[in-house]
């Protein structure tokens, strides 16, 4: 996750977590990223109310909508 979102390295639990190998295929990497984000949001949602605000939806394109839904 810190590879995609470097700011997360500020969170000790994430910074200390074992790293998974970087996947070379961009589509596979994207799929893995969405799965990790989905799991993170689900775990947070199990503990707290989560509010997700999506901004800049005007930038959505065909590539964006091809992603698997969260």
* Residue bearing the bigger pLDDT, 69 or 17: 17
* Residue bearing the bigger pLDDT, 43 or 69: 43
pLDDT in tens, 14-35: 889 888 777 788 888 888 888 8
Domain ranges (residues) in the chain: 6-64
For position 63, what pLDDT does the model report? 73
- Whether the predicted model's global pTM rises above the 0.85 cut: no
Give the torsion sign (CA, 3, 26, 52, 39).
negative
Exposed e or buried b for every residue in 31-68, given b needs 16+ CB within 10 A?
ebbeeeeeeeeeeeeeeeeeeeeeeeeeeeeeeeeeee
pLDDT in tens, 32-53: 888 888 998 999 999 999 998 8
């Amino acid at each position: 996750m810190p590879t995609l979102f470097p700011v997360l390295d500020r969170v000790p639990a994430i910074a200390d977590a074992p790293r998974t190998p970087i996947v070379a295929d961009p589509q596979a990497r994207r799929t893995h990223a969405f799965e990790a984000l989905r799991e993170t949001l689900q775990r947070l949602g199990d503990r707290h109310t989560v509010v997700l605000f999506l901004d800049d939806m005007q930038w959505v394109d065909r590539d964006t909508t091809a992603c698997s839904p969260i």
